[in-house]
Amino acid sequence: MGTMADTGEMKKLPASPDLVKKTKNAHGSISFLSIRRGILNKYQTFDDFIYDLAADPPPPDLSGFDHHLVVVRDAVLRVLRSNMVFVGPSVIEELVFDAFKANGPGADPLTWLFETVRDAGLHEPGLLIFPLHSTGILGFGFARGFARGLRKGDIETEFAIPDAGLVFSPQTNSVAGTVRLIKRTEEHLGLKRGVPEDSLHHHMRISTTAWLTRNPLLLVRTRVFSGSTYENQRFLLLKLRTSTSLLLFLASLERAMRGRKLPSWTSSQTTNNWQTLDIHHYLVYQPSGRRGRQYVGKRIPMNLDLTDLSEVSGIGVDFNPQVWTKRPKITARLIAALSTVERGFLKHEMIG
């Protein structure tokens, strides 16, 4: 299902000179680090530098480095986040160190940094995989229950809204079904890289991610590159809430529309449903930072409270995709409205 909504999502990273201009509030710290480039060159690695910087007291020649490094880091983060690119602070800190260490007089360290982000593909979209419960697709349970003699592909369905960057699928109940779903999702969302099958098989062998076959899945296109486990979790949680809000709005509007209504017993919730509420992790597949056409996966423990978790994972509605394939304009308006709310929250609560 496609729409023509303006989601505000970046099509490509702006040119490096344009990005550098937006870091002007950090020029004093940029000058400080540039002048003291020789001190940075004494360190072979960023870890060695941080080890000395964290000493109590630090070496006298490192005085001020902690402050100015953070100022430049935050300026770069603001520029990237304003373009909906969420590279983790720990990654940017190391890139700032490398940028000033590697670029001598006359070179622009921030130009080098932004071009490194672009060349490594850190700005490219990846995939967030999150389990849901108490939700389904109308008509799908009925079809699956009476699908004897049909090929598996004949009864596989998902609710895809590419312009919103999401795919919703009922439980697959099979390892092969989940692998095929992820491959179709890559096409639906226009992802440039692929989720490694061996990674999916690995996670499906682990009891903590049994939901990959047992539960409905929400698959969301995201632009994140995290160094540490939780540094982008606020953004990921916002993407999940925006996506589930869209699904809730669509399901609510179905009730007021004319036409034949499928009964609730036809939902995928009613057939072959062994969903689990034992949900403690989600999966993020992000660019590797190296050449290659595959993502790197992270299984991230949920450190959310039960209220947040239930709000995100328990939607409690059924969808009829046939309704929305005929009404792309309404869907586009909803996507645009939620995108405006999301961008406003990011601007006032997260980017600053």
Domain edges within the chain: 16-119, 126-351
Peptide bond into 57 cis (omega under 30): yes
Residue 156, C-beta contacts closer than 8 angstroms, at least 6 positions apart:
172, 177, 180, 181, 184
> Are residues 106 and 240 in contact, defined by beta-carbon separation less than 8 angstroms?
no
The predicted structure's pLDDT at residue 306? 55
The predicted structure's pLDDT at residue 327? 79
Sign of CA dihedral 310, 316, 322, 323: negative
The predicted structure's pLDDT at residue 234? 85
C-alpha 226/C-alpha 196 separation (Å) is 18
The predicted structure's pLDDT at residue 43? 94
150 CB-side CA count, 13 A: 11
| pLDDT, tens digit (0-9, with 9 covering 90-100), for 223-257 | 999 988 888 888 888 888 899 888 888 888 877 66
Angle at 157 between CA 155 and CA 162, to 5 degrees: 160
The string of DSSP letters for 251-291 reads HHHHTTS-SPPPPGGGSGGGSS----S---EEEEEE--SSS
**β-strands 136-137, 318-319 pairing:** parallel
Which stretches in the chain have pLDDT values below 70? 1-11, 139-156, 256-278, 304-311, 352
